Structure 1
């Protein structure tokens, strides 16, 4: 898991490099926006931690059906919360900017709004990344979640390079959402593989 977070951090450094090219206002806005969305997305981290423990316990008890049920219940809760949070970030998220910005607010806050609108539209993929990656780790699969982290790194890196080349703040803001989408597609495919493989390992009919 430590390696997983290291891979994610590398992607963050690539995005930071592209922001440095865009100037201090872009860096300040991105930093403030990241703090705001982190406040609202800690629930996804909690769901991921819960699924890690839940899936580990039920695999140990040879209750694969309960693991599937757990993912379905988490999907309902996580997606519903993602829609609400996305709505808040998209429409009123910039109101929280004053908690983190005091200087040059007139120039920075519109850029914070751009960031929050970009990430706010993609809260469901962020939920999937947190829930399924941790759930698979709880089931004993270490390499597969790390592959999703590599996919996330590639997605974030590609967008960071494009943003730097185009000198586009909006593209820099889209780096994380694009990475989440890439990782989500991979994780959904891996879900079916993991369930089939776990059924074989547990010798279930």
Structure 2
């Protein structure tokens, strides 16, 4: 039986003992306290990828490493859509939580979880069916094809664990709890590394072992996340018998999340086109860029952590009608992300060869990865601005703006630039320059929108 809104409101905030109310207290301290556990969680998620890459790169051959490192855009094509919708659900929940409408919070939570179950079934089916076709259209080299297909099928076979964990994490995050997901990732990361070593280094299962290790580890995170939500005494407690479809809340989730999902999937298609062009330069290019992508994953952690924190902060404060606080939080979050990203970019530029050799020891692959890294990394501040600005706009319900902007530049312009320019200048650096170019264009649009629009009153305007 659902608890009515009035009774929920009388329960006070201390019932939500695992969450954080971001509508009170120092802005910078509050945002950082919320973002740091997210940063550590993102770090551990990167360790999943690094564990696979390091073990495969050191205990298998170059083709196996290329297979694992080049499939990221394909997996994100499927799970990115569903995770994008889940992010929209988090914005809806954070808005109601900030407004102290706990009945709406509870219904939104259960609607989100039901969506996750349905999404898991669809993602598994779609991923398994599309895997061979995706590898073919991406011009995967024949010597890499068998292992790439094996890894993809294992990954998509267990993709439900990834989707359910991310939905559970989005719900906890919307309620201000960024600590418990971190605890679960610590345990699952340890399991992932141990299983990688067992399956690949000891038993010699290659990419299949790496894929199975990742799925098992993510499954542990998902189970622990769901169990915690069922056992909490706070706002947003999960009751499996209460899972049902609430049209009004699912409608809000779709309105906020569908643009995110479409954006993720279409940008992934753009990245697949770019990856196809990378593949055309051979397995050394695949390995070099694959190794750089692992470095980039770590380098982007401050950016992604802050951009994930901002929708919750903005959503809670706009729900509480604290407009000035929302503006100040947006400015602090964007500035912090930009500064940290550029510092990290300089570090990557200076130590690119050493960092690349941690993942791959083939000289030809390292040389390509180094050139690629040194073109891109000094422009990290532009990527940080775009991601953090997009986080602000998602938090105020304007998710359509990041979707259109990123689709136009990170997909459309990027594809046109790479395919057209490579036709006239068949040089690998053409691919590398695609990223700074498109980040610059998106940053200009986001800056203009934030300065010119009245984004802090978005929720009120939608009600009118």
The offset of 1:127, in angstroms, is: 0.5
Higher helix share: 1
Question: Once the 2 structures are TM-superposed, how far is the Cα of residue 65 of structure 1 from its aligned partner?
Answer: 1.4
Partner residue in 2 for 1:159: 417
Which residue does 2:390 correspond to in 1? Answer: 133
Matching of residue 150 in structure 1 with residue 407 in structure 2: yes
Query: For residue 57 of structure 1, what is the aligned residue in structure 2?
Result: 316
- The 2-side partners of 1:17 and 1:41 are apart by 23
TM-fit CA distance, 1:199: 4.0
- In 2, the alpha carbon distance for the partners of 1:115 and 1:77 equals 26
Aligned 1:1-205 pairs, distance under 5 A: 1-102=260-361, 105-151=362-408, 152-165=410-423, 166-194=425-453, 196-199=454-457, 202=460
In 1, Cα distance between equivalents of 2:272 and 2:358: 24
Could you tell me how far apart the structure 2 residues matched to 1:89 and 1:200 are?
39
Unaligned runs of 5+ in 1: none
- How many equivalent residue pairs? 200
User: 8 Å contact 1:21–1:167 — kept in the other structure?
Assistant: no
**Whole-Å separation in 2 of the counterparts to 1:197 and 1:127:** 20
- CA change 1:197–1:47 in 2 (3 A) is closer
Partner Cα separation in structure 1 for residue 279 and residue 418 of structure 2 = 11
Q: CA deviation at 1:59?
A: 1.0
SS in 2 for 1:122: helix
| Shift of residue 42, structure 1, vs aligned partner | 1.6
Unmatched tracts of structure 2, length 5 or more: 1-259
Q: Deviations for 1:61-99, whole angstroms, at most 9, x for unmatched residues? A: 112211221122123311221221110111112211122
State TM-score, norm by structure 2: 0.41
When Rg is computed on C-alpha atoms for both structures, the one with the higher figure is 2
Match of 2:368, SS state, is helix
Report how far residue 202 of structure 1 moved. Answer: 4.6
- Superposed CA deviations along residues 129-185 of structure 1, whole A, max 9, x for unmatched, are 211112111111121111112122123212321453122111111222222112111
CA RMSD of superposed structures (Å): 1.8
Mapped to 1, the partners of 2:267 and 2:326 lie a distance apart of 27
Which is further off, 62-71 or 160-169?
160-169
Cα distance, 1:21 vs. partner?
Answer: 2.2
TM-score, normalised to structure 1, is 0.89
Q: Work out whether residues 19 and 26 of structure 1, in 8 Å CA contact, stay in contact via their aligned partners in 2.
A: yes
- C-alpha distance in structure 2 between counterparts of 1:200 and 1:45, whole Å: 24
* Aligned-partner SS, 1:121: helix
Work out the CA distance in 1 between the residues paired with 2:379 and 2:396.
26
